[in-house]
Structures are given as structure tokens and as C-alpha cells.
């Protein structure tokens, strides 16, 4: 049972525009979320986190929004750059789960120059 879902396998965006990657979860006990970027043949690179006490967290070009009532989070990348082309994973956990994270299946982002 996939508790974290990324329903868009791929996304294409023009350079300079906003990229919005979405993630849904089903377990209401999740209260901590991470986003990772992954290039081929490399391990995932940590991008940004958010806990359920917040509804937004920003780090440079990356902003994560959390809607707890909808069990939905999104990652906004503004402006998008060609180097952002990668697979993006969201991951969820909670106090009950320790450091066990549940990952989505990823969204492949292509930023077109």
C-alpha cells in the first residue's frame, strides 16, 4: 500500500518559469516531510524539509507548502533552471516512525532551455 503518492511521473517546464511538484499522503500520523532531488547514478540529494507545525518553508528558489487537511504537499521551484532537471522524491515520516521514511515513486522534471 503506497502511503505516499506522486501522481505525475513527469513534468516539463520552460526555463525561468515555476515548477510545481505535488505529493499526497494517506497516513495522518505523518508530520515530517522531506524533498529530494536525484540524478541518474547518484544518491538522492536532500533539498528541503517541513514539519506539520508549519504550512510553508522556503530555502532560496525552493519552497515547500503543506496542506494538512488535504494531506498534500507541493514543492515550488522558482525560477526553474536546466540544472534542476532530475527526479524529485517526496518522503514522509512522523514521531511514531523514527527515521523510517516513506517515499513516493518520484516525478521526473525536465526544464527546457
Partner 1 sequence: KAGVTQTPRYLIKTRGQQVTLSCSPISGHRSVSWYQQTPGQGLQFLFEYFSETQRNKGNFPGRFSGRQFSNSRSEMNVSTLELGDSALYLCASSLRAGEPHEQFFGPGTRLTVL
Binding residues (CB under 8 A) for partner 1: these are 2, 4, 31-32, 34, 36, 41-46, 49, 89, 91, 93-95, 97-106
CA-based nearest residue to 22, from 39, 38, 40, 10: 10
Q: Minimum distance between the CB of residue 3 and partner 1, rounded to whole angstroms? A: 10
Residue 113 CA to residue 82 CA, distance in Å, equals 6
| Residue 57: its H or E element | strand 56-59
CB nearer to partner 1: pick between 43 and 113:
43
Q: Virtual CA dihedral for 26, 34, 105, 31, nearest 10 degrees?
A: -10
Q: Minimum distance between the CB of residue 107 and partner 1, rounded to whole angstroms? A: 11
CB nearer to partner 1: pick between 15 and 22:
22
CB nearer to partner 1: pick between 13 and 34:
34
Q: Minimum distance between the CB of residue 65 and partner 1, rounded to whole angstroms? A: 19
Q: Minimum distance between the CB of residue 59 and partner 1, rounded to whole angstroms? A: 12
> Would you state the cell numbers that stand for residue 15, as one nine-digit string?
526555463
> Would you state the cell numbers that stand for residue 101, as one nine-digit string?
521514511
Amino acid at each position: 500500500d503506497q502511503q505516499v503518492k506522486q501522481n505525475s511521473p513527469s513534468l516539463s517546464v520552460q526555463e525561468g518559469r515555476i515548477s510545481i511538484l505535488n505529493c499526497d499522503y494517506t497516513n495522518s500520523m505523518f508530520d515530517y516531510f522531506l524533498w529530494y532531488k536525484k540524478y541518474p547514478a547518484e544518491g538522492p540529494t536532500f533539498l528541503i524539509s517541513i514539519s506539520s507545525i508549519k504550512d510553508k518553508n522556503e530555502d532560496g528558489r525552493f519552497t515547500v507548502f503543506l496542506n494538512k487537511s488535504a494531506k498534500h504537499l507541493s514543492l515550488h521551484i522558482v525560477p526553474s533552471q536546466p540544472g534542476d532537471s532530475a527526479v524529485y522524491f517526496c518522503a514522509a515520516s512522523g514521531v511514531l516512525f523514527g527515521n523510517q521514511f516513506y517515499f513516493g515513486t518520484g516525478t521526473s522534471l525536465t526544464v527546457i532551455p
